[in-house]
């Protein structure tokens, strides 16, 4: 239990230390903020190792400290592993990407704080403390979205992100108040057993409020701007893990008030399908690569929500498990896409947030100069549309299989439409690959500088991981199966 508390506390406590001792003007400064952040992350990995050992023995870990109750289940474990992995790789990647910019120490301090608040949120065992962690996560991520504040577009994106996130938090707070009025407690273990108008309204508020963070249609408008204008590492972390915490929070909140899983599951099916269609269609009209990837994230959020909707409405363990698998693999492939793109933009001379303006045409011929990084970007793009043997194929196939096995005709119909939109996604992915592999002679490309090892290393780690889980998806069973089982337990 001490290790679980340390897993949450270490990033939060060490965050201000990274800021203070990483500040250029500090008299005791002996280490770069980047290196100090990596050192702190090493201790977090050690704590996770011992926590996973304890989890393997009991499958549920709890910590009680006064009014604060923390509970780690399979869902928590999956999100912690994913977020810690991506945070570590983003920290390594950002060394050269942000070197010399104003506020580096704030960036790395915010990264640690974001990690700690995400872990706290997915382990919270009552609605109010979950909301507090949710707010802390929103604040720390807002600071990083606004990192390139010299750009007007970045300030606009961060303002939109802040306003919409705060609006969602207010709706969630009203929903929490209604649950407290009805149940007399906010404990996530106290389930409602009969219908109530108060709880129906609370459920709607949870879907709307947490749906803002999750970018559920129509509350997605902040996402392409935030992903586009944030530093590349932040875009990778937001798309790969942080946005999905809105889904985890929403599922835990809804589990308190669901007495008819079929109704709420049906709602998630519809919302997931709308997200798939909206994200795919909107991505087709984009020319800036980061915005294409951002709208793609909206569509993939839809696939995760669709799978969970199948699992809840039909009581399908396969649906819930495939949703958790796609959540994890999406984190890998979308982070890979953003980091590979960011490395190519960096090599092409984009600095101080200019990667936001990097278009498809700017990729022309880069495969000649950077074959490894470009191949990694192509692998991520092909995985996004579900081309074997990439990891995205495995998770999408399992979602489709979970759907077609259901006796409901309309679930099968939704699955067929989702599969068709996965094919449509080729229309925004193939131009990226084709342009990058344009093999016409380009002397100006040959004169570009090398991509630093600190950028290439996280990219190659993610690329290898994406192929490995595509070929041997069973390697993820130890974290995906407990997550699916925990979701099934939430909804009976």
Looking at residue 283, what is its pLDDT?
92
The CA distance from 227 to 158, in Å, is 10
**Residue 183: pLDDT over 90:** no
Predicted TM-score of the model (pTM):
0.92
Looking at residue 16, what is its pLDDT?
84
Do 458 and 339 contact (CB within 8 A), yes or no? yes
Instruction: Give the total residue count for the chain.
Output: 492
Q: How far, rounded to the nearest angstrom, does the alpha carbon of residue 223 sit from its chain's CA centroid?
A: 12
Share of the chain above pLDDT 90, in %: 35
Looking at residue 53, what is its pLDDT?
85
The CA distance from 194 to 141, in Å, is 38
Residue of 44, 290, 228, 18 whose CA lies nearest to 140 = 18
The CA distance from 195 to 180, in Å, is 15
**Residue 228: pLDDT over 90:** no
Query: Which tokens sit at 58?
Result: 């009991």
Round the CA-based radius of gyration of the chain to a whole number and report it. 21
The CA distance from 257 to 184, in Å, is 13
For 266-325, how does the pLDDT look when each residue is reduced to its tens digit (9 = 90+)?
888 999 999 999 999 999 988 899 999 999 999 999 999 999 999 888 878 888 999 999
Q: Which residues of 195-228 are buried (b: 16+ CB within 10 A; e: fewer)?
A: ebebbeebbebbbbbbbbbbbbbebbebbbbbbb
**Helices of type H across 124-196:** 127-145, 152-183
The CA distance from 192 to 257, in Å, is 5
Do 71 and 61 contact (CB within 8 A), yes or no? yes
Residue 69: its H or E element: strand 68-72
SS3 112: helix
**Residue 6: pLDDT over 90:** no
The strand ranges marked E within 187-333 are: none
Per-chain mean pLDDT for the chain? 86
Neighbour count for residue 193 (Cβ, 10 Å): 7
**Residue 108: pLDDT over 50:** yes
Share of the chain above pLDDT 70, in %: 94
**Helices of type H across 351-425:** 366-369, 371-384, 391-404, 409-424
The CA distance from 430 to 432, in Å, is 5
The CA distance from 373 to 27, in Å, is 39
Looking at residue 405, what is its pLDDT?
86
The CA distance from 161 to 153, in Å, is 12
Looking at residue 443, what is its pLDDT?
58
Query: Which tokens sit at 220?
Result: 């997605």
For the chain, counts of helices (H) and of strands (E): 21, 2
Mean pLDDT of 230-253: 89
The CA distance from 271 to 305, in Å, is 7
Beta bridge partners of 69: 64
The CA distance from 168 to 206, in Å, is 9
Do 97 and 457 contact (CB within 8 A), yes or no? no
The CA distance from 169 to 135, in Å, is 7
Least confident segment among 42-51, 243-252, 437-446: 437-446
Looking at residue 367, what is its pLDDT?
84
Show Cβ contacts of residue 299 under 8 Å, excluding neighbours closer than 6 positions.
275, 276, 277, 278, 279, 280, 283, 421, 425
Q: Which residues of 294-325 are buried (b: 16+ CB within 10 A; e: fewer)?
A: bbbbbbbbbbbbbbbbbbbbbbbebbbbbbbb
For 318-356, how does the pLDDT look when each residue is reduced to its tens digit (9 = 90+)?
889 999 999 999 999 999 999 999 999 888 877 776 777
Helix-, strand-, coil-residue percentages of the chain, each rounded to 5? 75, 5, 20
For 89-102, how does the pLDDT look when each residue is reduced to its tens digit (9 = 90+)?
999 998 888 877 77
**Residue 414: pLDDT over 60:** yes
**Residue 27: pLDDT over 50:** no
Looking at residue 292, what is its pLDDT?
92
DSSP secondary structure string, 301-360? HHHHHHHHHHHHHHT-HHHHHHHHHHHHHHHHHHHHHHHHHHHHHHHTT--TTGGGG-BS
Q: Which single residue is written with the structure tokens 């992100």? A: 161
SS3 160: helix
For 53, 70, 79, 190, 330, the CA distances from 123, given in Å and listed in that order, are 17, 5, 10, 16, 22
Query: Which tokens sit at 440?
Result: 């016409």
Mean pLDDT of 247-251: 91
Burial of 432 (0-12, 13-18, 19+ CB in 10 A): buried
For 115-156, how does the pLDDT look when each residue is reduced to its tens digit (9 = 90+)?
999 999 998 888 888 999 988 888 888 888 888 877 778 788
């Amino acid at each position: 239990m001490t290790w679980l508390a340390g897993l949450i506390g270490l990033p939060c406590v060490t965050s201000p230390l990274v800021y203070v001792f990483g500040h250029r003007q500090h008299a005791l400064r002996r280490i770069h903020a980047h290196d100090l952040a990596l050192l702190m992350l090493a201790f977090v990995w050690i704590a996770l190792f011992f926590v996973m050992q304890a989890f393997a023995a009991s499958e549920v870990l709890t910590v009680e400290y006064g009014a604060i109750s923390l509970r780690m289940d399979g869902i928590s474990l999956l999100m912690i592993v994913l977020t810690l992995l991506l945070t570590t790789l983003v920290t390594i990647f950002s060394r050269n990407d942000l070197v010399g910019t104003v506020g580096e120490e704030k960036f790395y301090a915010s990264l640690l704080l974001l990690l700690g608040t995400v872990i706290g949120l997915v382990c919270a065992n009552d609605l109010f403390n979950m909301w507090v962690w949710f707010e802390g996560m929103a604040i720390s991520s807002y600071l990083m979205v606004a990192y390139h504040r010299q750009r007007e577009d970045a300030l606009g994106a961060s303002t939109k992100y802040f306003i919409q996130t705060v609006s969602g938090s207010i709706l969630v707070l009203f929903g929490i108040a209604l649950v407290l009025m009805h149940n007399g407690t906010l404990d996530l273990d106290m389930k409602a057993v009969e219908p109530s108008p108060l709880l129906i309204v609370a459920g709607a508020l949870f879907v709307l409020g947490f749906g803002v963070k999750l970018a559920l249609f129509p509350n997605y408008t902040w996402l392409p701007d935030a992903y586009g204008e944030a530093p590349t590492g932040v875009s990778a972390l937001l798309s790969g893990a942080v946005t999905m915490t809105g889904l985890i929070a929403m599922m835990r909140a809804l589990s308190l008030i669901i007495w008819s899983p079929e109704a709420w599951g049906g709602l998630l099916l519809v919302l997931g399908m709308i997200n798939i269609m909206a994200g795919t269609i909107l991505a087709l009209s984009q020319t800036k690569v980061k915005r294409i990837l951002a709208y793609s994230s909206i569509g993939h959020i839809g696939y995760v929500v669709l799978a969970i909707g199948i699992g809840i409405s039909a009581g399908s363990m396969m649906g819930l498990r495939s949703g958790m698998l796609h959540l994890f693999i999406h984190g890998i492939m979308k982070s890979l896409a953003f980091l590979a793109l960011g490395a190519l933009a960096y090599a092409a001379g984009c600095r101080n947030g200019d990667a936001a303006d990097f278009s498809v045409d700017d990729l022309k011929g880069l495969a000649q100069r950077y074959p490894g990084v470009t191949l990694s970007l192509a692998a991520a793009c092909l995985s996004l549309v579900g081309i074997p043997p990439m990891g995205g194929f495995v998770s999408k196939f399992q979602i489709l299989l979970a759907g077609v096995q259901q006796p409901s005709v309309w679930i099968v119909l939704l699955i067929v439409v989702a599969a068709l939109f996965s094919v449509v996604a080729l229309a925004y992915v193939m131009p990226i690959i084709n342009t990058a592999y344009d093999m016409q002679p380009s002397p100006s490309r040959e004169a570009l500088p090398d991509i630093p090892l600190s950028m290439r290393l996280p990219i190659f780690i993610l690329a290898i991981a994406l192929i490995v889980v595509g070929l041997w998806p069973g390697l993820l069973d130890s974290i995906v199966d407990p997550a699916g089982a925990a979701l099934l337990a939430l909804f009976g």
